[in-house]
Amino acid sequence: MKFIKPKDAENLINGTLGDPFSILGLHEWQGKATYRVYYPEVDAIDVININSGEKIASLEEEDGVPGLFVTQLDKAAPEYQLRVKKGNETWLTDDPYRFEPVLGELDEHLIGEGAHKQLWRKLGAKVIEHEGVAGTHFSVWAPNALRVSVVGDFNNWNGRQYPMRKCGGTGVWEIFLPGISEGSAYKFELIDPSGNLLPQKADPFGFGSEHPPKTASIVRRLEGHCWSDGEWMKKRQALQCVDQPISIYEVHLGSWKRKMDDGGRSLSYVEHANELVPYVKKLGFTHIELMPISEFPFDGSWGYQPIGLFAPTIRYGTPEEFRGFVEACHDADIGLLLDWVPGHFPEDEHGLGLFDGTHLYEHSDRKEGFHPDWNTLIYNFGRREIANYLSSNALYWLKEHHVDGLRVDAVASMLYRDYSRKEGEWIANKHGGRENLEAIDFLRHVNEICYGEVPGIMTAAEESTSFPDVTKPTSAGGLGFGYKWNMGWMNDTLSYMQEEPINRKYHHQKMTFGIHYGFSENFILPLSHDEVVHGKGSLVNKMPGNHQEQFANLRAYYGFMWGHPGKKLLFMGAELAQANEWNHDASLDWHLLEHELNRGVQSLIRDLNFLYRSTPSLYQLDCRAEGFRWIEENDSDQSIFAWLRLGLQDRSPMLVVSNMTPVERTNYRVGVPLKGRWIEKLNTDAREYGGSGRGNLGSVDSQNIAASGHANSVDLTLPPLSTLFFQLEGNRTAS
């Protein structure tokens, strides 16, 4: 071997060359300018002058080192290209090993400190121009690997061809590959600390992915989009506060609607922009919440086991097309929320597990690092690089895609070390307790940087326990979320509604108990996908009685929900009163709208939303006790509930009354705080909703008869299984 040390040649051949830039490219060797190019399975390589296009020298294959082409010159030409020949093909390419590093010292410092807020702009695959040459810069964090290479369709997935440079002490590897452009498929090939070749890994920061079941990352550009939603971005902060109406339509993009005339495929982002957005606007929802769209390998996980956290799933289109969907939402004055999953990730071999041959992203001890419920791995929240990875991902969606908020999945599983674990299956914290102190710190940090860096956004926690102060500011010791799903309210009220009406008087407190804690957090009332899967059936089929009574029960329940303090969330299909349990592989049952009862429920949801949004007393004090007052909470024998909703300096309070039995109640006297005419604003038993049309002929006048602790009262007709809304006519303040 004339032009390379035997040990370096051995490492090159074996694919274990950990410092390729010290060998490949242009170097001084034996007092001469020496060019070394490793390009397996080609016939010939020439060094070409970039400026003139003339051949400087021909490279010859080194004896005993197949694929290594070498030449020596007395005078170096630092800026050069390679002319490569294979068979009848000849092409020009730049040598990746002639370029200086792309990452700077500040980047390396911030990455090492776990403090790089825009980490996605440095790591991953970036289409750039470097030293005057167009190509893609690849970088990945793998501190314990002996060698990392980029592999792809551009080098026949050969990990020996493009080994990367290790940067300082950060554990980041990088390389600039000239000529690689958007659309190229790639992965990283790593050798672990023991010298073992690992399964090829998808890019943790990849902006795109292949269509599942393929698993490679795809080079995608983020730059160049011209956003047109400036007006929405200016006003959204005012629209997402606790004193504003927030009504959320939860959607699984793969099954909301399918093109049955095109093989039953899901709609694209573009088609959702044209069909889903107008539908949601027509029904009066203020927000759409998407079940996770970060790339995921298994359809049956519904996105809750993601691998490509930075890649909008290719199932529905490209990142650019997803941005178009976001803009369509904003053009319609609809906010877009994403389900975000920072709590766990699947063990698929192309994912984050044992990424560099060590427990890099996950805990090494399965008592801390494995989820028994979902057979997934748990992030090591106490490691600064992992916390940085996840927090930068949150910022990525908010900044790069103009998403309006994140609903954080499975927060309870993050907060407790013993979540779903038996005695002896978990490790206590440093104080001997069950709280996951590292996860708590992480969640606080995420909320601080999200609210601090991106004005106007909102975060919501799916948290099913009584963990305190979820929505209290971090400065006051809370977790810092904007909102929390009220899982207790959902469980109690659904349980009540499933009871036969004759038995409901024994469970009356399930409908009233939520008020006892209802203002301890900023709550969202969720009827989510979790209530219509895994054999739970649909909402309408949870209701007792005959067919008509099931629909009446559901309408009354929706009225109760929209009249109750708390923001609203409804899973798609619930507005259709879909009888079938949700199936992620099929479309919603849109044909049900041919039936009067189903159309009636859809119309009710529309009218509830518009009543809610147009009535300050129904939303301004959603999260404050002074916005709610019981009128009748103890009539368990007749299963009747009556309460008053008040707004800020409200001059038009709203009286809400629910009758949860199939018996019409006539001459039912309810105390009211003010004299006057009370207008029946909405009645869930109205004929347009599929009801019987019974009620109060549009209004009722108060009488000077004491009831329910008030000097005045109204004499109501309460239809069976119904909820009614009454608003005082004129402008008067409730006392």
For residue 224, give the nearest of 137, 127, 338, 316 by alpha carbon: 127
| Unique residue bearing structure tokens 């927000």 | 287
Q: Which two tokens stand for residue 384?
A: 């600064």
CB atoms within 10 A of CB 106: 9
User: What number of residues does the chain have?
Assistant: 735
The Cα-based distances of 62 to 43, 161, 363 in angstroms read 13, 16, 45
C-alpha to C-alpha distance for 263 and 544, rounded to whole angstroms: 37
**Rounded CA separation 612/647 (Å):** 12
Residue 283 DSSP class: H
The pair of structure tokens assigned to 212 is 């599942």
Spot the catalytic one: 409, 463, 521, 531.
Answer: 409
Rounded distance between C-alpha atoms, residue 486 and residue 196, angstroms: 48
Residues 15, 191: contact at Cβ < 8 Å? yes
Nearest of 529, 537, 593 to residue 279 by alpha carbon: 593
Q: Which residue has the tokens 């895609």?
A: 401
**Number of other residues whose CB lies within 10 A of the CB of residue 320:** 14
Sign of CA dihedral 554, 559, 561, 564: negative
Please, are residues 522 and 480 in contact by the beta-carbon 8 Å criterion? no
**At what angle are helices 269-283 and 596-614 packed, to 10 degrees?**
70
Is residue 409 part of the annotated active site? The answer reads: yes
Which of 462, 521, 531, 632 is labelled catalytic? 462
∠ Cα 491 437 405 (to 5°): 55
d(CA 447, CA 467): 17
Residue pair 66/40 in contact (Cβ under 8 Å)? The answer is yes
Is-catalytic flag, 626? no
**Would you say the C-alpha torsion 497, 503, 508, 509 has a positive or negative sign?**
negative
CA 708 vs. chain centroid, Å, equals: 46
In 523-664, where does DSSP find H-type helix? 539-542, 547-563, 596-614
As given in the structure block, the two tokens for residue 439 are 């996860």
Q: Which sign, positive or negative, has the C-alpha torsion 226, 228, 232, 235?
A: positive
In 3D space, the residue among 637, 647, 654, 651 whose CA is nearest the CA of residue 723 turns out to be 654
For residue 36, give the nearest of 23, 47, 45 by alpha carbon: 23
SS (H, E, C) 670-704: EEECCCCEEEEEEECCCHHHCCCCCCCCCEEECEC
CB atoms within 10 A of CB 410: 21
The runs of H, that is alpha helices, within 240-300 are: 269-283
Tell me the helix, strand and coil percentages in the chain, rounded to 5.
30, 25, 45
C-alpha R_g of the chain: 31
Q: Give the DSSP H/E element, type plus range, for residue 323.
A: helix 319-331
Sorted by sequence, the CB contacts under 8 Å of residue 558 that are 6+ apart come out as 601, 604, 605, 608, 684, 723
**Residue 436, amino acid:** N
Angle of helix 487-498 relative to helix 547-563, nearest 10 degrees? Answer: 150
C-alpha 152/C-alpha 21 separation (Å) is: 20
Nearest 5 degrees, angle CA 610-CA 616-CA 619? Answer: 80
Looking at the annotation, which residues are catalytic? Answer: 409, 462
